[in-house]
Amino acid sequence: MAVETRDRIIEAADLLFYQHGFEATSFADIAASVGISRGNFYHHFKTKDDILDGVINRRLANTEQMLDRWEIAGSDPAERVRSFIHILIVNGEKIRKFGCPVGTLSSELAKLNHAAKSDATALFTLFRSWLCRQFERLGFGDRSDELAMHILGRSQGVATLANAFDDDRFLHHEVDLMCTWLDDQIAELSTENHSVRE
Amino acid sequence: MAVETRDRIIEAADLLFYQHGFEATSFADIAASVGISRGNFYHHFKTKDDILDGVINRRLANTEQMLDRWEIAGSDPAERVRSFIHILIVNGEKIRKFGCPVGTLSSELAKLNHAAKSDATALFTLFRSWLCRQFERLGFGDRSDELAMHILGRSQGVATLANAFDDDRFLHHEVDLMCTWLDDQIAELSTENHSVRE
DNA sequence: CCAGAACTAGGACAATTGTCCCAATTCAGA
DNA sequence: TCTGAATTGGGACAATTGTCCTAGTTCTGG
């Protein structure tokens, strides 16, 4: 069936774009990975940019689904933010090899001046607004987006260095620091509220 | 003279690799930028990888020089670390457009499985050990490398997000946070020392 | 069962890639 | 000034790129 092949192409392209980058991945590479002929591509995707769109949309959908799952998982917002932080460990091996899929794609598209750069940024925005929502529920009000960006940035930096140095210990240590930071923020917030009430 | 041309090639390649990435920059691009013929390249650089080596060595030399300048600038180690943090602001415009030169190159070479990846990591190591030295002088002992990696990671994350969102306010805010973090670390350290003495 | 749509394989196409050669020019040293 | 090395420009080269076409095959709805 058509949809199956299309999905298989996107799935293979997703992986290859992540592992080797968008520019460095050719039609031939994807075709070989899927096991279909190069020419067959044109029927499913008119241009390479179309495949990129497909890949980004797939990532957007998968990410949204993951965040939704965490949201309905019942645990408190702080626990959800911890889930986000722990992606670094869950995907630790891949991150050490290829970096963060979101950050590296965004960087590459920025350099290529690619039209889909804003779509890649939308992936970041998905995490950003989700994190922001969690902080709002924790009572951080206007500071929520700031905190969301902070933790998003921290994980990006950890991914970049863990990749550069292939360092698992660093990754774990920084995850601990981020969790501590989260606890501190929550603790500080509650003392603030106390002093406001008094 | 030969050296002049060679340097002009490396300088142009350095800029293009930073702005558009290594893979996306062709011989023709560099030649056009320098204003010499494509064929003339072969006399100076046998392969594209040779140019990359030249660029990385140039960056290594420039970085070392910059760090040395900061080191002899007389101010205390904390001030030096602040100098490092403020690169994010000094180079803010470029970073928002193209990301961190060190981090993005390192990521790209990791994905390309390129032989020069370790050389790119050496650029990180330059900053890492320099920062480590400053923390040691501040009295952080065994924790110095940890702190160096922490601040290195923070700035990487800030660069990635400032680039993705083209956000100058975020960049400035995070720089402030990093400086505050540094002050806190130093303050905590001095109270620790006090309690040890008592 | 059959017409038309969906799909596939294979290759053509011009453009670009990194690499390389060669003839012309410039330069340095005797 | 003369010689040989260093440098340069203008391509040639095969390989690969993204794009596109065409002729077959498979599938589906009536």
User: At A138, is the secondary structure helix, strand, or coil?
Assistant: coil
**A10–chain B nearest CA distance, Å:** 19
User: At A145, is the secondary structure helix, strand, or coil?
Assistant: helix
Write out the two tokens for A143: 């500071």
pLDDT bin (cut points 50, 70, 90) of residue A1 is very low
Over chain A, what is the mean pLDDT? 92
User: Could you tell me if A31 and A41 are in contact, meaning their C-beta atoms sit under 8 angstroms apart?
Assistant: yes
Query: Over the range A80-89, which residues count as b (16 or more CB within 10 Å of their CB) and which as e?
Result: bbbbbbebbe
User: Could you tell me if B23 and B112 are in contact, meaning their C-beta atoms sit under 8 angstroms apart?
Assistant: yes
Of B21, B111, B124, nearest to A98 by CB-CB distance is B111
Q: Which residues of A have a CB under 8 Å from any CB of B?
A: 19-21, 23-24, 97-99, 103-104, 106-108, 110-113, 120-121, 124, 146, 149-150, 152-158, 160-161, 163-165, 170, 173-174, 177
| Res. B75: pLDDT tops 90 | no
CB-count exposure of residue A180 (10 Å: 0-12, 13-18, 19+): exposed
| Res. A150: pLDDT tops 50 | yes
Mean pLDDT (whole number) for A91-111: 97
User: Could you tell me if A119 and A56 are in contact, meaning their C-beta atoms sit under 8 angstroms apart?
Assistant: yes
Mean pLDDT (whole number) for A14-28: 93
- Would you state the pLDDT for residue A43? 85
- Would you state the pLDDT for residue A197? 46
For the ranges A11-15, A27-31, B41-45, B106-110, the lowest mean pLDDT is seen at B41-45
Mean pLDDT (whole number) for B83-103: 98
Q: Return the nearest residue to C26, CA–C1'.
A: B1
Q: Averaging pLDDT over each range in A73-87, B37-51, B120-134, which range is the top one?
A: B120-134
CA distances from A155 to A59, A125, A138 (A): 18, 14, 20
pLDDT digits (tens, 9 = 90+) for A180-193: 999 999 999 888 76
Q: What is the 3-state secondary structure (H, E, C) of chain B?
A: CHHHHHHHHHHHHHHHHHHHCCCCCCHHHHHHHHCCCCCCHHHHCCCHHHHHHHHHHHHHHHHHHHHHHHHHCCCCHHHHHHHHHHHHHHCHHHHHHHCCHHHHHHHHHHHCCCCCHHHHHHHHHHHHHHHHHHHHHHCCHHHHHHHHHHHHHHHHHHHHHHHHHCCHHHHHHHHHHHHHHHHHHHHHHHHHHHHHHC
Q: Which residues, 6+ apart, have CB-to-CB distance to A149 below 8 Å?
A: A128, B161, B170, B174
- Would you state the pLDDT for residue A27? 86
| Res. A198: pLDDT tops 70 | no
Q: What number of other Cβ atoms are within 10 A of residue B179's Cβ?
A: 15
For chain B, what percent of residues have pLDDT higher than 90? 76
User: Could you tell me if A59 and A14 are in contact, meaning their C-beta atoms sit under 8 angstroms apart?
Assistant: yes
Which of B14, B17, B94, B111 to probe the A interface (max A CBs under 10 A)?
B111
Tokens 């501590």 label which residue?
A180
pLDDT digits (tens, 9 = 90+) for B99-117: 999 999 999 999 999 999 9
pLDDT digits (tens, 9 = 90+) for B4-30: 788 999 999 999 999 999 999 998 899
Q: What is the 8-class DSSP label of residue A114?
A: -
Helix (H) or strand (E) segment spanning residue A142: none
For the ranges A4-18, A77-91, A137-151, the lowest mean pLDDT is seen at A4-18
pLDDT bin (cut points 50, 70, 90) of residue B198 is very low
Which of A102, A104, A156 to probe the B interface (max B CBs under 10 A)?
A156
Mean pLDDT (whole number) for A135-158: 98
pLDDT bin (cut points 50, 70, 90) of residue A46 is confident
Could you give phi then psi for residue B140, rounded to 5 degrees? Answer: -85, -5
